[in-house]
Amino acid sequence: MRSLVDAQRPPALARMLAAKGFDAEHVHNVGRGEAEDGAIWDHAATSGAGIVAKDEDFASLITLHPNGPPIVWIRVGSTCKQALLR
């Protein structure tokens, strides 16, 4: 599955996933770095990607639109980038 990492997560997460063989990009790399959640949702849906996100907004959207893109909701509290990548 192709993954689109939301702006709330660091670009390093997308790079780490890609280095491990996953098809992952950060929203900044696809011109959606400043986009609203709805625009990111639409981009993921049309490009066949799932969304990797920290915020609950995408988890809420999937309950309203069950045929939308898959969501990976990372529910880790405030942590440094190195701890997240581990």
Helix, coil or strand: residue 20: coil
Q: Is the per-residue pLDDT at 85 higher than 90?
A: no
Tell me the pTM: 0.86
Question: Which residue's structure tokens are 């660091």?
Answer: 10
How are strands ordered across the β-sheet holding 24-26? 24-26, 2-5, 49-53, 71-73
**pLDDT tens digits, one per residue of 63-79:** 888 899 999 998 877 77
Q: In the chain, what are the domain boundaries?
A: 2-85
Tens digit of each residue's pLDDT (9 = 90 or more) over 30-61? 877 788 888 999 999 999 999 999 888 888 88
